[in-house]
Amino acid sequence: MKLSYDTIRHNLDAYQKARNEYVILRQYEEGTVSFSALSAIGMANFGTFHSFLKKHEQKGFNPISSDPSIAIFANLKSILIEKTKTERFKTFLKNRTKKKFDAMLADKEEFDRLLNGAWKSRPVVRRNGRMSSGTRKHERIEGLEEAFLPLINYIILNDIEITDRFSWQDRISSDLAWFTSSRLSFDGIRVKEMEMTSSLIKAFSDLTEKEKFDFRTLNISYVMSAIETKIKKAFTVKEGTLLKCVEDVKDTSGKALLTKGSTYNALQSYESRGSLLVSVAQDDGRKAYHEFSKFEDISTKRDDLLSMLLG
């Protein structure tokens, strides 16, 4: 197995593009928006990628090193020794040659032992058919995990063959995936919801500034409760409401379920995990629930929600 920068470059470019286009991602970086809010509009992977970048940035490491010296084994060795706590493994690294170290990266048993610690008792199948977790010794080369990015840069820059077991290691598999299989995608991002929410917040902010509301004189619990109650009342669709589909919806086989531009009568609705679901009769005649964001209530203007909230 060999690694390259192709996937991580794609992810870095996609993340930067998302930062430029969607203010919510910058707000998440600043801590003013929660991960759950980011996830609700389809950008959970971007939040996870930010955590990956931040974790290693705090250690002084970058996914793609601009310092060619990282390809030199002696420099990587120094970093690994610095990041390793177990004294006997510090000595082990000091005495390791480049040839032996590179060979260790391709040996699944040795790499597993040095990354996670030697087995005290290996996993076995129990009588109930389940696999036991096994136990390991605490001593290991912590630097293989702590200096993950310098290690990956060294591997890529030197075109080193590594064990396929590399991607199965719990300690580093999630980070490694950004170099191999996890690719940031803009599919599923709820752009319309972000735009409407931003418009609503801006209109609310403009009005409170115009009217010179001083929120410091109010009880924040009462204010939030009152707003939440009004929003939940608006989070319903009356039976018979005429809805216009705003995007084509197909099943996994490609069969059309909803057609963009077509109208459907709302049958029932309910809230699930922060999203409103509405039941309609699909193109195939079957009744099914879909997210309300796939429709527009053609009898409702966008300003109506703000008017309802602010009275």
pLDDT on residue 306: 54
CA distance 154 to 103: 14
Written as tens digits, the pLDDT of the chain (311 aa) is: 899 999 999 999 999 999 999 989 999 999 988 998 898 888 999 999 999 999 999 999 999 987 888 899 999 999 999 999 999 999 999 999 999 999 999 998 999 999 988 888 887 887 787 877 788 888 999 999 999 999 999 999 999 999 876 666 778 989 999 999 999 999 888 877 777 777 777 777 777 777 777 777 778 888 788 877 777 777 788 899 999 999 899 998 999 999 999 999 999 998 887 778 999 999 999 999 998 988 988 776 544 555 555 55
Q: Which residues face 265 on adjacent strands?
A: 242
pLDDT at 302: 45
- Structure confidence at residue 266 (pLDDT): 93
Supply the DSSP symbol for 130: P
The conformational region for residue 134 under phi > 0 = left, psi -120 to 50 = alpha, else beta, is left
CB-based contacts of 208: which residues, under 8 Å, 6+ apart?
215
pLDDT at residue 6, as a whole number: 96
Tokens of 240: 């018979």
What domains sit in the chain, N to C, each tagged with a CATH number?
6-180 (no CATH), 192-310 (2.30.30.40)
- DSSP one-letter code for 125: B
Residue-level pLDDT at 304? 55
pLDDT of residue 164: 77
DSSP, residue by residue, 212-265 = T--GGGS-HHHHHHHHHHHHHHHS---TT-EEEE-S-EE-TT--EEE-TT-EEE
Nearest to 156 by CA among 59, 72, 71: 71
Q: Write out the H or E segment, with its range, that includes residue 280.
A: strand 275-281
Q: What is the pLDDT of residue 68?
A: 85
Rounded distance between C-alpha atoms, residue 243 and residue 120, angstroms:
63
